[in-house]
Structures are given as structure tokens and as C-alpha cells.
Amino acid sequence: MDDSSLLFLCGLHSFALVIFHLFFWKILRWKTELAKLGVVNRGVMQIMNVQLIFMFSAVGAACFYFGETLNDGAIGRFFLGSLALFWVLRLVQQFIFLKQNHWAMHVLSIAFALGAGLFGWAAFR
């Protein structure tokens, strides 16, 4: 697979996570579930989600529009490697904090492993 195709897949992965996070309010029933939290915790949860949406959008855009830069320099490789580590850590946390044997958790684990693999491959090829 050539570099531009690999980074395109990394960008698609990032934008898929944007779409997923946009639906958190509905999927996770945040209207009722977050109402159980205090105002600060409720706000922090939503702020973190909005910030992740922004970051995944920025990562996706970088993969689509700055592929040559990401492929050519040390900072690009560092960026891609850091994203691979982000997904490895997220996968590990899946098992620490979400101890559930549910099909949705397995799908998410696959998505996180895919992110680690794609970004790792892009960084260390």
C-alpha cells in the first residue's frame, strides 16, 4: 500500500470517530444519564467529547491534506506515532474501565486496534 492510501485510511478512521462521537448524546442517552451527575462532571463529559470531535477532525484533515509533510519529516512520523500510541492506550483503557462482555465493546476494541495499526504502520513503515 502506498503512503497516500495509508494516510487516507488514517483520515477515514479519524472522521469515522468524529461521526461516532457526534452521536454520543443519543447513543449514550446523555440527556438522562448525564442529568444524574453534578453540573461540573456533566459539563466535563460533554466538553471532553466536543474536544475529541475537534481533534479527530483535525487529525483527519491533516491526513487528507498534509500527507507528504507527515511522510517526509521527523515531526510527521512523531505525530503519527503519537496517534498510534493514543489508540494503543485507548484500547488498554477499554479493558480497565469498561469491563463488559458486550458485542459493542468488542467492536470498539477492533476500531481502537485498527487505529493503532493504521497510524503505527504509517509512522514506522
Residue 70's pLDDT is 93
Indicate whether 100 pLDDT > 90.
no
3-state SS assignment for residue 58: helix
> Is 108:94 a contact under the CB 8 Å cutoff?
yes
pLDDT for the residue numbered 99: 87
Work out the mean pLDDT of the chain and round it to a whole number.
96
The pLDDT of 84-103, averaged and rounded, is: 95
Please give the average per-residue pLDDT across 45-71, as a whole number. Answer: 96
Domain boundaries, the chain: 3-124
517526509: which residue's cell? 72
Quote the crossing angle between the two packed helices 103-124 and 74-97, to the nearest 10°.
160
